[in-house]
Chain A
Amino acid sequence: MSGYRRPSGGKVIERGKSITFTFDGKQYFGLAGDTLASALIAGGVSVVGRSFKYHRPRGIVAAGVDEPNALVTVLGDGAREPNIRATEIEIHDGLVCESQNRFPSLDFDMRALNQLGGDALAAGFYYKTFMGPARWPFGGTRTWMAFERQIRRAAGLGRAGTESDTSRYDRVNAHCDTLVVGGGKPGIVQALEAARKRRRVIVCEIDPTLGGYASWSGDPDISAMITQLQAMDNVQILTRTTAWGIYDGNAVAALERVSDHRRDRAPGEARQRMWIIRAGHVALATGAFERPLVFPGNDRPGVMLASAAQRYAAMYGVLPGKRIAIVTNNDSAYTSAIALKARDANVITIIDLRSEVSGGARSIASVAGARLRTGQAVVATAGTGGLDSIQVAPFDHRTRRPTGRSEGISCDCLLMSGGWSPAIHLASHAGGAPRWDDTLKAFLAPEDGRDLSLHGAAAGDFVFGAGLSPAPAPVYEVRAPGKAFVDFQHDVTADDVRLAHREGFHSVEHVKRYTTLGMATDQGKTSSLPGQAILADALGRPLEQVGTTRFRPPFTPVSLGSIAAERFGDLHPERITPIHDWHVKNGARMVAAGHWQRPECYNRWKESVEQAYIREAKTVRRGVGIVDVSTLGKIDIQGPDAAAFLDRVYTNGFARLPVGKSRYGLMLREDGFVFDDGTTWRLAPDRYLMTTTTANAGPVMQHLEYYLNVIWPDIRVHLTSVTDQWAAMAVAGPHSRDVLAAIVIDTDVDNLTLPPMGIVHGRIAEVPVMICRLSFSGERAYEVYCGAHHGAHVWNALIAAGEPWGILPYGLEALGALRIEKGHVTGAEIDGRTTARDLNLDWMLSTKKPFIGSAMMDRLGLVPITRQALVGVVSINGEKFHGGSHIVESANPKKPGPSLGHVTAMCYSPVHDRYIGLALVSSGRARLGARLYATDPVRSASHVPVEIVRHVMVDPSGDRMHG
């Protein structure tokens, strides 16, 4: 193409402010205000990319978001950003971009050989071949996968990076009475009207400046209107902002390109910002897209939309060629012709597919100095690299075919106009079917009753000038030999659409899926309607009955980073206990438990995790240890019916629990399976403190709230989450009482004052504490609760007090080892599929009262003794086995036979001096004493003989705990 910059003109560029950028390694110059596209056209570049399938050279077709061809990769701050439309990149010094989908170079692309495949590569050819023989060695999916590898390499557009994207994305919530999408004239009119009524208004404009079509078509009123709008204090104007989706309740998602157009960013400034705008009313003034025409060779660089050329001339002072021809089916191209002429363009001819052309159009053609050829069509284009000439022939618009001999016209730029399609995308996101307007030959927005309106061209209100008609002739295709493209990016031709029809694909959705028409990065903004028209022709039905495919968010592609916004990397929410910093300072390996961070173990002397937890567990069994259990869910339960409420939600009784005592409780789901467990403390006749597992704190709270608010509103109970109010630490081991006795004041902690499950109040190092004698480990143990802000202080005091007895902190792994030895269940066993009986907790199922789940827990499938039940497993020869191993009967690891169950948890047991575990094994109780195998073929290939034992493997009588 022989585009060039005029010596004057260009509304948005700054003459004299030269910008240097790099494209495919070569330096170019542009002007401030240029897009990459305008700068490349001004620089005489015609080939900007290669097409998806045939790798044909492609140039710039459009001037905005509808651009199908000119996609480049921006090489910014480390992370590559592929597939960005050159028409949307504002150039700035230091911009580096490269073309895509070409090898080895843009000018010479080996994969252009694909074109030699010709008709064999027509739509859907891959469904019919590449299957290979049905039998070995190339049977199954082998053949296809070999071909697929090649296909994948050839497909795809730009290349994604592998380096982390370090740029910042923001998310902002906004509220307004009226959201105006589109800052062209109709949008500004809507915004001003709403603003004058003192409504809160937000205006989103996709371009850097307001004005839209009015601006580049030279509307005399537009500057004043913009000034007026900018002066309103109740109007927020967001430029470079694309509203990309409308969701339920008029929640509109929009992307603001905050600083992509600059090299430098202020501290904290985002690259892009996602707006979520909740609008009372949405006014869409999104304009319309000009359609291309489908004729052989219409994809040659140098062929461009007429309005795009007009826009480049007006906004950037750039003309796309020295000899310009125009082909059209409607009057709007005449407006473009005269506008180009006004900017010194040489418009040599206008080829109109229509045989009848209005007087208005004729006179414009003559003013523009262009020879008017009515009833003619472009039947071929020619040129190397760019466009040199076109072939024009008489045309019958009913048959869509040329009727006579063609004539060559020398030109370096061909502008096309196939009429206009209103941008109704956002209005259709709710799913309503667009309505066909047979006058405008366009789909208009569905009426779906939401608080949403359309204005200007988006509503089909086209104004092309005095005496010009808004209605195109319903002909979009010239059927002549040669590839005529409907979807430029995806290389879908008119013949492909007809082939799809021939093969029985008669729905527009079928044609889209079979040919990939409209599935490219421009989402069919240019290709949809011509494609549908060709299908309608093939079906012999009016376009109205063919319909259009469904519009889906986003309106135009948006970066994943902008939608994820602040929600990744170091901004992930994380919960820490009051003692967190101590853990970190003292060598804890922290591990995630839901959002919580918990110590896994405290490594010393380069110990392994296993060495550390064994040491820690031994300390608890022989001396005394301390563990941070602040993560347990805690719920304050108050009210006259608190006891009755607990009796309903727990399987066991709580009404008769004395004040000052706690009890272990079990909850079922309504369907009879186990939901959660924990201890609940009675602090007063009408007040309990419930604890839940760490993982289920939230779900249990919601469960209780649901029953209180929805099912049993008469029960007078208040619930408050106090998880964060209390720091909690368990002191466990034979010397635990010694440690407490040494430091707790204001209460005794002897066996009489503080028996198992008893609760006392006292103070530790001045801090009021509440102590409950509870054991998860099976040792004598106490849970010390204090106000969370004092947690670290009390923890330190306990550590200091425990020094004479060698107190050590222990982490999750040791906690796990201790509980496995004792046979306590956790989330690994309460996995949503186990019953109380499965877990040997049937003793907790009260027969004296109903409770949630009691009606469903005795169903046929929940009671057979063949169900998997909780047992202990002990390694017979001392060999290590693993959590997640399955229990099998066969000694042969190669033929393990069916699974009888699995190991839910395992550890090295200091007490037994060997590896032990808990397992859910079918008919578990009947297998006590059996010798089976724990097999782990997927991970460690271990196949370890184990003995099935009772699940309580330490101190079954409870003497240690109660002593």
Chain B
Amino acid sequence: MAEYSALQVIRNALGGNEHWKPLWRKPDPKPAYNVIIVGGGGHGLATAYYLASEHGIANVAVLEKGWLGSGNIGRNTTIVRSNYLLPENAAFYEHSMKMWETLSHELNYNVMFSQRGIINLFHTPAQEDEAARRGNAMLLNGVDARFVRPEELGKRMPALDLAGSSRLPVLGGLEQPRAGTARHDAVAWGYARAADRRGVDIIENCEVTGFIRDGTRVTGVNTTRGDIYARKIGVAVAGSTSRVLAMAGIDALPIESHVLQAFVTESVKPCLDCVVTYGGGHLYISQSDKGGLVFGGDIDGYNSYAQRGNLPIVEDVMSEVVELFPAFAKLRLLRSWGGVMDMSMDGSPIITAGPLPGMYLNAGWCYGGFKATPASGFCFAHTIATDEPHPLNAAFSLDRFYRGYVLDEKGQGATPWKH
């Protein structure tokens, strides 16, 4: 298939756009593959792509139970950042950030990664020190960071209420200038197209219904489109992790599924040029290319597979938007939706071989999975291909919890709904 380019777009337009080809084939599953990736979301597709591109393993199938990208890759608030405190997280997410910076070229698909910056606002002297601690950690870990003072914040965000409710005035913000947003669906489509071009079979509407075992070893999967065998099976199914692994007899994991809601307003002309988070609660907000304000807050806080949430969080989140931007009270909520988050016990992910021989697990992304997509796929592919973790995901093991090497970015302990 031809490379995408402006020229190509014009040439096709002259032909009435009749000659565009599907981004990925619709193959029937083969009886066996070298590697099966369960889960056709961002992480699964990226893993397949890097298996093919980095490790030369193209005999790969990605199995998706619904339509490609129907999970969290298309439900998040599109934020890409690497402003982490703990060195293990910083290294991983910064690697991801670097991959994002060249991803559109790598995939020959415009994922619209826009490095508009993310600003974490702080409102008390204690929060300022916290922000400095994080910002300094970022700089020492080789990540970009800067302090933004209220005057600059006021200029960049004219609708921001710097005085706040006087209880929580805006004292400043910690910015990661290289952070930003990307077009979430495009990431899935871009990886799917690029993986497909390297020979990966992407099989939609193919639900895994069981695992085929040879002793303890996992050797294949039963699916709604027949049994498929593989030497290695990677599972990257986010909120469905417990459900899928239960089919392999794993009845408990350090993961709970929780619903996270996200919101978008009607489109308006550009009025918010960066991603902002509120320090007086939990809110992250940015404006999409189309003009809608996209935002979210806390997870609902109870186990759920329902992909929809309830009103208390809706009210909390709206009150925080209006607290920060009183002018936005008159903007209107257009749509809300929910995704199922695989909340881990320390808020950090798991990328590992196991828990059964022949199986590999990629999970525990909480609500930070989107920005991790490239590095997650890259590290998971490495782990699957070499049976060893990449140095970047060595800390994201499954046994870290029991050994006490938790990566607790928020310090909330094993209370997954508080991460």
A841 at the interface (CB under 8 A from B): no
- Rounded to whole angstroms, the CA-CA distance of A82 and B331 in the bound complex is 7
A935 at the interface (CB under 8 A from B): yes
A111 at the interface (CB under 8 A from B): no
Q: Are A572 and B323 neighbours in the complex by a CB distance under 8 Å?
A: yes
Q: Are A513 and B185 neighbours in the complex by a CB distance under 8 Å?
A: yes
Quote the shortest CB–CB distance from A85 to chain B (angstroms): 11
- Rounded to whole angstroms, the CA-CA distance of A145 and B100 in the bound complex is 14
Q: What B residues does A764 contact at CB under 8 A?
A: none
Quote the shortest CB–CB distance from A727 to chain B (angstroms): 22
- Beyond the given pairs A572-B323, A884-B133, 8 more chain A to chain B contacts, judged by CB atoms under 8 angstroms and listed by A's residue number, are A80-B327, A127-B112, A128-B6, A155-B289, A165-B322, A253-B314, A569-B165, A670-B413
If over half of A's interface residues share one DSSP class (helix, strand or loop), that class is named, otherwise mixed; here it is loop
A219 at the interface (CB under 8 A from B): no
Q: What A residues does B287 contact at CB under 8 A?
A: 152
- Rounded to whole angstroms, the CA-CA distance of A896 and B404 in the bound complex is 29
Interface residues of B in 326-363 (CB under 8 A from A): 326-337
Quote the shortest CB–CB distance from B20 to chain A (angstroms): 5
Q: Which listed segment binds A: B207-215, B235-243, B262-270? A: B262-270
Quote the shortest CB–CB distance from A468 to chain B (angstroms): 36
A344 at the interface (CB under 8 A from B): no
Q: Which listed segment binds B: A57-65, A117-125, A412-420? A: A117-125
Q: A52-B267, A552-B335, A902-B133 are in contact. Are A567 and B315 (CB under 8 A)?
A: yes
**CB < 8 Å neighbour of B322 from A163, A564, A592, A883:** A564
Quote the shortest CB–CB distance from A546 to chain B (angstroms): 12
**CB < 8 Å neighbour of A885 from B16, B136, B267, B400:** B136
B129 at the interface (CB under 8 A from A): yes
Q: Which listed segment binds A: B46-54, B225-233, B305-313, B373-381? A: B305-313
Q: A144-B112, A569-B326, A572-B323 are in contact. Are A902 and B137 (CB under 8 A)?
A: yes
Q: Which listed segment binds A: B139-147, B364-372, B384-392? A: B139-147
Q: Are B114 and A148 neighbours in the complex by a CB distance under 8 Å?
A: yes
Q: Are A129 and B291 neighbours in the complex by a CB distance under 8 Å?
A: no
Question: A130-143 toward B: CB 8 Å interface, digit per residue (1/0)?
Answer: 11001000011100
A248 at the interface (CB under 8 A from B): yes
Closest to A153 in B: B270
- Rounded to whole angstroms, the CA-CA distance of A420 and B308 in the bound complex is 28
Q: A157-B268, A164-B326, A523-B335 are in contact. Are A128 and B9 (CB under 8 A)?
A: yes
Q: What A residues does B32 contact at CB under 8 A?
A: none
Q: Are B291 and A671 neighbours in the complex by a CB distance under 8 Å?
A: no
Q: Are B67 and A561 neighbours in the complex by a CB distance under 8 Å?
A: no
A832 at the interface (CB under 8 A from B): yes
Q: Are B329 and A564 neighbours in the complex by a CB distance under 8 Å?
A: yes
A888 at the interface (CB under 8 A from B): yes
Between-chain CB contacts (< 8 Å), 29 pairs? A83-B267, A119-B14, A127-B4, A127-B109, A128-B9, A129-B8, A131-B105, A141-B180, A156-B268, A159-B268, A164-B327, A253-B314, A495-B17, A502-B20, A504-B23, A507-B66, A509-B74, A513-B185, A519-B335, A553-B336, A560-B332, A572-B167, A592-B123, A593-B124, A882-B132, A884-B129, A899-B140, A936-B136, A939-B136
A574 at the interface (CB under 8 A from B): yes
Q: What B residues does A572 contact at CB under 8 A?
A: 165, 167-168, 323
Q: How many residues of B contact A (CB 8 A)?
A: 119
Q: Are B322 and A156 neighbours in the complex by a CB distance under 8 Å?
A: no
Interface residues of A in 525-546 (CB under 8 A from B): none
B110 at the interface (CB under 8 A from A): yes
A658 at the interface (CB under 8 A from B): no
Q: Are B329 and A559 neighbours in the complex by a CB distance under 8 Å?
A: yes
Q: What A residues does B255 contact at CB under 8 A?
A: none
Interface residues of A in 17-70 (CB under 8 A from B): 52
Q: Are A163 and B327 neighbours in the complex by a CB distance under 8 Å?
A: yes
Instruction: Return the 4 tightest CB-CB contacts between A and B, nearest first.
Output: A832-B411, A884-B132, A561-B329, A504-B22
B125 at the interface (CB under 8 A from A): yes
Closest to A489 in B: B267
Q: Are A164 and B161 neighbours in the complex by a CB distance under 8 Å?
A: yes
Quote the shortest CB–CB distance from A610 to chain B (angstroms): 11
Quote the shortest CB–CB distance from A367 to chain B (angstroms): 43
**CB < 8 Å neighbour of A552 from B174, B310, B331, B337:** B337
- Rounded to whole angstroms, the CA-CA distance of A861 and B402 in the bound complex is 9
B45 at the interface (CB under 8 A from A): no
Q: What B residues does A863 contact at CB under 8 A?
A: 404
Q: Are B24 and A574 neighbours in the complex by a CB distance under 8 Å?
A: no
Question: B44-80 toward A: CB 8 Å interface, digit per residue (1/0)?
Answer: 0000000000000000000000111110001000000
Q: What B residues does A430 contact at CB under 8 A?
A: 308
**CB < 8 Å neighbour of A165 from B137, B289, B326, B336:** B326
Q: Are B329 and A503 neighbours in the complex by a CB distance under 8 Å?
A: no
B130 at the interface (CB under 8 A from A): yes
Quote the shortest CB–CB distance from B120 to chain A (angstroms): 12
Question: A246-267 toward B: CB 8 Å interface, digit per residue (1/0)?
Answer: 0110010100000000000000
A554 at the interface (CB under 8 A from B): yes
Interface size class, chain A: 35 or more
Question: B284-321 toward A: CB 8 Å interface, digit per residue (1/0)?
Answer: 00010111000000000000001110110011001101
B247 at the interface (CB under 8 A from A): no
Q: Are B332 and A559 neighbours in the complex by a CB distance under 8 Å?
A: yes
**CB < 8 Å neighbour of A568 from B165, B267, B404:** B165
**CB < 8 Å neighbour of A861 from B14, B108, B265, B404:** B404
- Rounded to whole angstroms, the CA-CA distance of A140 and B99 in the bound complex is 10
**CB < 8 Å neighbour of A159 from B10, B69, B269:** B269
Q: What B residues does A884 contact at CB under 8 A?
A: 128-136
**CB < 8 Å neighbour of A80 from B330, B405, B413:** B330
Q: What B residues does A225 contact at CB under 8 A?
A: none
Q: What A residues does B393 contact at CB under 8 A?
A: none
**CB < 8 Å neighbour of B289 from A151, A161, A888:** A151
Q: What A residues does B115 contact at CB under 8 A?
A: 141, 145
Quote the shortest CB–CB distance from A516 to chain B (angstroms): 7
Question: A155-177 toward B: CB 8 Å interface, digit per residue (1/0)?
Answer: 11111111111010100000000
Question: A563-598 toward B: CB 8 Å interface, digit per residue (1/0)?
Answer: 111011110101000000000000000011100010
**CB < 8 Å neighbour of A141 from B13, B113, B139:** B113
A408 at the interface (CB under 8 A from B): no
Q: What A residues does B311 contact at CB under 8 A?
A: 245, 247, 251, 253, 276
Quote the shortest CB–CB distance from A728 to chain B (angstroms): 21
Q: What B residues does A557 contact at CB under 8 A?
A: 265-266, 332-334
Q: Are A833 and B411 neighbours in the complex by a CB distance under 8 Å?
A: yes
Question: A99-128 toward B: CB 8 Å interface, digit per residue (1/0)?
Answer: 000000000000000000011101001111
A672 at the interface (CB under 8 A from B): yes
Q: Are B332 and A83 neighbours in the complex by a CB distance under 8 Å?
A: yes
Quote the shortest CB–CB distance from A117 to chain B (angstroms): 8
Q: A128-B110, A509-B70, A600-B125 are in contact. Are A671 and B323 (CB under 8 A)?
A: no
Q: What A residues does B93 contact at CB under 8 A?
A: none
Closest to B130 in A: A884
Q: A509-B67, A569-B165, A569-B326 are in contact. Are A899 and B136 (CB under 8 A)?
A: yes
- Rounded to whole angstroms, the CA-CA distance of A938 and B108 in the bound complex is 36
Q: A513-B74, A936-B136 are in contact. Are A160 and B268 (CB under 8 A)?
A: yes
Q: What B residues does A806 contact at CB under 8 A?
A: none
Q: What A residues does B291 contact at CB under 8 A?
A: 152, 155-157
Question: A652-668 toward B: CB 8 Å interface, digit per residue (1/0)?
Answer: 00000000000000000
Q: Are A247 and B140 neighbours in the complex by a CB distance under 8 Å?
A: no
A323 at the interface (CB under 8 A from B): no
Quote the shortest CB–CB distance from B41 to chain A (angstroms): 14
A810 at the interface (CB under 8 A from B): no
**CB < 8 Å neighbour of A126 from B110, B204, B405:** B110
**CB < 8 Å neighbour of B167 from A155, A516, A597:** A597
- Rounded to whole angstroms, the CA-CA distance of A129 and B5 in the bound complex is 5
Q: What B residues does A129 contact at CB under 8 A?
A: 4-6, 8-9, 110
Q: Are B331 and A160 neighbours in the complex by a CB distance under 8 Å?
A: yes
Quote the shortest CB–CB distance from A66 to chain B (angstroms): 15
Q: A163-B327, A165-B326 are in contact. Are A83 and B24 (CB under 8 A)?
A: no
